[in-house]
């Protein structure tokens, strides 16, 4: 005498079987997965932060805040201290890699979506990460207040997870990267605690 084995519908579904004991087709499984993915909204980053630490013995540090002010602009605010008075190159870099704190070169070159020449923030052609210069006062403190239309906190131009570099010298906007000298502060741009919507 044979015993009948009854499997709950949940077990059948998990095994990819229909109640009739046949395998559910890939079309059915894909449709189920697609429906499930549509119910989960992708979070939108509205705020980010970068804590800058000294490269080598530069003594330069600071904190930068990034906030989406509308669908096409990002406002960058904050303060950088320990600088020599004057202008300093101020750029988003390719990699959020802080393993080389002696030279800062682990952050790579300027972030650029595509292949563009270096330029001013207002130039039609520029690297994505070209944010120009900040100016330190006599006390070596630079107050940052920039609004940019090229960088973003979401999508292809997102700076989240990228590196940030402050340079020893001014960016003179020459090629290929502005002749801004050594890297004196390095950080990674990350999602702020209240930065997801």
Residues with Cβ < 8 Å from 143, sequence gap 6 or more? Answer: 79
Cα–Cα distances in angstroms (integers) from residue 97 to residues 16, 116, 176, 178, 184, in the given order: 42, 23, 22, 22, 15
Active-site residue (options: 68, 110, 157, 162): 110
Active-site residue (options: 68, 88, 157, 183): 183
What are φ and ψ of residue 136, in 5° steps? -90, 140
Active-site residue (options: 68, 88, 126, 130): 130
100 as an active site residue: the answer is no
Active-site residue (options: 91, 126, 157, 162): 91
Active-site residue (options: 68, 88, 118, 162): 118
88 as an active site residue: the answer is no
Identify the three-state secondary structure at position 37. Answer: helix
38 as an active site residue: the answer is no
Active-site residue (options: 93, 126, 157, 162): 93
Active-site residue (options: 126, 157, 162, 167): 167
Beta strands in the chain (DSSP E): 47-54, 61-70, 73-81, 86-93, 130-136, 142-148, 163-167, 183-191
Active-site residue (options: 68, 88, 126, 127): 127
126 as an active site residue: the answer is no
Between CA 172 and CA 181 the distance in angstroms is 10
93 as an active site residue: the answer is yes
2 as an active site residue: the answer is no
Q: Which residues are catalytic?
A: 91, 93, 110, 118, 127, 130, 167, 183
């Amino acid at each position: 005498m044979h015993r009948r084995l009854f499997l709950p519908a949940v077990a059948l579904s998990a095994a990819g079987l229909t109640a009739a004991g046949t395998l559910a087709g890939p079309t059915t499984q894909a449709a189920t997965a697609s429906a499930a993915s549509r119910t989960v909204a992708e979070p939108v980053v509205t705020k980010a932060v970068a804590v800058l630490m000294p490269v080598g013995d530069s003594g330069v540090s600071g904190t930068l805040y990034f906030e989406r002010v509308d669908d096409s602009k990002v406002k960058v605010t904050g303060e950088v201290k320990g600088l020599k008075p004057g202008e300093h190159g101020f750029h988003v870099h390719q990699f959020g890699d802080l393993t080389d704190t002696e030279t800062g070169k682990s952050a790579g070159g300027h972030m650029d979506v595509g292949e563009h020449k270096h330029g001013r923030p207002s130039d039609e052609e520029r690297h994505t990460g070209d944010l120009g210069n900040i100016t330190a006062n006599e006390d070596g403190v630079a107050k940052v207040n920039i609004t940019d239309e090229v960088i973003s906190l979401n999508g292809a131009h997102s700076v989240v997870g990228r590196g940030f570099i402050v340079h020893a010298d001014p960016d003179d906007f020459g090629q290929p990267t502005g002749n801004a000298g050594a890297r004196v502060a390095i950080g990674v741009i990350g999602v702020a605690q209240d930065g997801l919507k």
